Amino acid sequence: MMAKKVLVACFSASGVTKQVGEEIARIAGGVFFEIVPKEVYTSDDLNWMNKKSRSSVEMNDPSVRPEIAGTVADMDAYDTVIVGFPIWWGLAPRIIETFLESYDFSGKTIVPFCTSGGSGVGRSDVALHKNVVSNAKWEKGRQINRPNESEIKKWLAEVL
């Protein structure tokens, strides 16, 4: 059997999700892609206690799709796409929806993971399925809060 080609695509507001994603890519022998917003979030934008902050406004409007600065060079080359994100308001940030709506995932496996200071994957995992209009296979999402090699290896053995 041919080895699966893995892409690890992460959005990280504070750097935590990026660290975990880079470790997942290293262990999986995959390629890391950082989902960077065209307009980078400032600390004021991320102030979840301010109902008028950019992140609060985005998360309260399901139709918002923040622009992404770059694109994956050859999405067709990947069999599995591991998508990482912090949990915002119990969900994936809207930029993850932008990412999932930007590519054709037909025939691919999508594996979400999240980082969170409080809540787990929750409904964020299944909520993303509606954004992929193709016959992609979804693996169950997982919360991984730090780049723990043994935890990541165990999880990858289950989903890859």
pLDDT of residue 133: 62
Mean pLDDT of 133-152: 89
- How many residues does this entry show for the chain? 160
Lowest pLDDT segment from 92-96, 129-133, 150-154: 129-133
Measure the CA–CA gap between 91 and 121, rounded to whole angstroms: 8
Measuring CA to CA, how many Å separate 49 from each of 11, 53, 85, 91? 21, 8, 20, 16
Domain residue limits, the chain: 6-159
Estimate to the nearest angstrom the gap between the alpha carbon of 52 and the chain centroid.
24
Contact 120, 148 (CB under 8 A): no
Measure the CA–CA gap between 85 and 32, rounded to whole angstroms: 13
Lowest pLDDT segment from 25-34, 38-47, 48-57, 86-95: 86-95
Assign domain 6-159 to its CATH architecture: 3-Layer(aba) Sandwich (3.40)
CB atoms within 10 A of CB 62: 11
pLDDT > 50? residue 1: no
Predicted structure pTM score:
0.93
